[in-house]
Amino acid sequence: MVNIYKFRKFFITLLFSVLMANISLSQTTEDHMNWWHEARFGMFIHWGVYSIPAHGEWIMYQENIPFQEYKKLADQFNPQNYNPAEWVSLAKEAGMKYMVITTRHHDGYCLFDSKVSDFTSVKTGAGRDLIAEFVQACRDADMPIGFYYSLVDWHFPGVLPHGTREEDEVYSDMVEQAHAQVRELLTNYGKIDILWYDMLQPTDPKLWRSTELNEMARQLQPDIIINDRAGVEADFGTPENRVTAQDRPWEACYSMNRSWGYARYDRNYKSVHELLRLLGSCASQGGNFLLNVAPDADGRIDIESVERLRSIGRWMKTNGNAIYGAGPSPVVAPNLGMETRVGDIVYLLLQRWPGSTVPIAWCGSKVTSAILLANGQQARIEQKGNRVWLHDLPAYPVDPYLNVIELHFDGPPSPSSPAYK
C-alpha cells in the first residue's frame, strides 16, 4: 500500500516537472526575441584579411585573385592594435545593444579556430583566435554576441566564378565544412545570441541542408536568433542597405560608407543626420538597425566612423527612449518626420522643424503633455477635436539632427481615422 502511494506521488511530481519544463520551454521560444526587439540598434563588423588591400571585402572576386595568391594575405594579417574591448565600448557609447561580427566572409578566412580549415587566424600570421577575444570582450561588458557566417567559401576550388558549376562534390565538401564550422562556432564560445548567415551560393537550401543546419544551431544554442539568409524559415528578415518593413521581425543592415569591408579610399560616408534618420525609420516601422563598421587590418576603426557613432550616442542619450523597444505610432505629425510608439507614449521625431508650433492631425486621444527632449521644454497644448497644436516651442530647432517630442495621453494613443502614410 505504502509503496503504491509513494509511486503515485512520484508520478505526480514527475508529471508536474515535465509540464513545467514544457511551459518554460515554450516561454523561451516565444520570448527569445524580446531583448532583440527592445534593442533596436546593433553594430555590424566586417573584418578579415581583405582589410589589408583595403578595397572592400569582395576583392578576391572583384580582381579574380587565385586562392594561392590570395592566401598570402593571411600570413600578413597580424593586427597589433586589435582591442575588441574598445569596439564594445564604442558600440555602447553609440547606444548600440548588440554586435554582429564576421567570423568568416566569402573568402573563407576564419577569424576563429577551426579543425576543418587551415585558412584561419590561428594557423596563419595572427596566430590567435580573434573571435575568442571578441567574445570575451563582449561578455565582460554584457554585450549580446552575433556571429556572421558566410555560407559560400570562395577558397574551395571550383566555387568561383559563381554559378558555372553544377551541383557536385565541390559543393558537398563546402557544405560539410559549413555544418562543421557552425557547430564549432556554437559549441566553443559559450552562449551566442545571434546567427547571421550570408550568401547561400548556390541558392539551394536543400543542397546546403539549411533546415538541418538551423536545427543543429537551436539544439546547441536554444535561445539563438537566426536570420533568413540560409534560405529557410527563420527568426528575422534582413533587408540590405534599404529599410523595408516586413510582416515578421526584421533588421535593416547598412554600411557606413559604400563598403562593408575596410575600403581606404571610400569617402562616401553617410551623415549623422542620415544615419539617425535610418535608425528612426527602422524603429518607427518596428524593425532593427544594424550599422556596420569596417576596422582596418591593424584592428582600428576609422575616425570618420568613430565620430559618427559618438554623435549618434550623444543623440541617443537624450532621445533613446524614442528608439528602444519602439514600434509604429497611431498618432502622427504629418510630413514633419517620423513617429514611434513605446507603450502609451508617442514620440515625434521631427526632421523638418515647423517653427514654434507643431501641428498634429487626426488625433483620437487627448494629449496631456508634450516635452521637447532636446531641452526638456514643455509645450502648451491646444486641442480641438482631432486637431492638436503644440505651442510655445523654440522657433528654431534645438537639436541639429532630429528633434524629438514626447507625447503623453489620457490613455492609449489612437487615431481619429487611419493616418495616410
Q: Between residues 46 and 55, which has the closer beta carbon with respect to ligand GLC? A: 46
Instruction: Give, as ranges, the residues between 271 and 330 that touch ligand GLC (CB under 6 A).
Output: none
**Cβ 255 to ligand GLC, closest distance in Å?**
8
For 79-160, strand residue ranges (E) read: 98-104, 145-150
CA dihedral 73, 78, 84, 86 (to 10 degrees): -110
Q: Between residues 156 and 324, which has the closer beta carbon with respect to ligand GLC? A: 156
Q: How far is CA 164 from the centre of its chain?
A: 33
Q: Which residue has the cell 528608439?
A: 323
**Cβ 253 to ligand GLC, closest distance in Å?**
5
* Residue 107 touches ligand GLC, criterion: CB under 6 A: no
Instruction: Give, as ranges, the residues between 214 and 273 that touch ligand GLC (CB under 6 A).
Output: 240, 253, 260
Q: Between residues 101 and 137, which has the closer beta carbon with respect to ligand GLC? A: 101
Q: Between residues 151 and 213, which has the closer beta carbon with respect to ligand GLC? A: 151
The 149-188 contact track toward ligand GLC, x by CB under 6 A, reads ----------------------------------------
CB 244 within 8 A of CB 251: no
**Cβ 235 to ligand GLC, closest distance in Å?**
16
Q: Between residues 253 and 402, which has the closer beta carbon with respect to ligand GLC? A: 253
**Distance in angstroms (rounded) separating the CA atoms of residues 89 and 307:** 14
Residue nearest to ligand GLC (CB): 260
Contacts (Cβ under 8 Å, ≥6 apart) of 384: none
Query: Which of 85, 141, 199, 381 lies at the binding interface for ligand GLC (CB under 6 A)?
Result: 199
Q: Does an H or E element contain 254, and which?
A: strand 251-254
Q: Between residues 67 and 324, which has the closer beta carbon with respect to ligand GLC? A: 67
Instruction: Give, as ranges, the residues between 336 and 395 that touch ligand GLC (CB under 6 A).
Output: none
Q: Between residues 26 and 203, which has the closer beta carbon with respect to ligand GLC? A: 203
- In DSSP notation, 99-111 reads EEEEEE-TT--BS
CB 14 within 8 A of CB 6: no
For 268-396, strand residue ranges (E) read: 288-293, 327-328, 337-342, 345-350, 358-360, 367-372, 377-378, 380-384, 387-391
- Side by side, the strands of the sheet bearing 288-293 are 225-226, 194-198, 145-150, 98-104, 41-45, 288-293, 251-254
CB atoms < 10 A from the CB of 415, how many? 16
Query: Which of 47, 57, 112, 330 lies at the binding interface for ligand GLC (CB under 6 A)?
Result: 57
Contacts (Cβ under 8 Å, ≥6 apart) of 161: 61, 64
Report the first-to-last Cα separation within the chain, whole angstroms.
Answer: 73
Q: Between residues 174 and 253, which has the closer beta carbon with respect to ligand GLC? A: 253
Omega of the bond leading into 394 within 30 degrees of 0 (cis)? no
**Cβ 222 to ligand GLC, closest distance in Å?**
26
Q: Between residues 153 and 198, which has the closer beta carbon with respect to ligand GLC? A: 198
**Cβ 198 to ligand GLC, closest distance in Å?**
5
Q: What is the sign, positive or negative, of the torsion defined by CA atoms of 397, 402, 408, 411?
A: positive
**Cβ 240 to ligand GLC, closest distance in Å?**
5
Q: Number of residues in contact with ligand GLC, rule: CB under 6 A?
A: 8
**Cβ 260 to ligand GLC, closest distance in Å?**
4
Query: Which of 198, 235, 251, 302 lies at the binding interface for ligand GLC (CB under 6 A)?
Result: 198
Binding site for ligand GLC (CB under 6 A): 46, 57-58, 198-199, 240, 253, 260
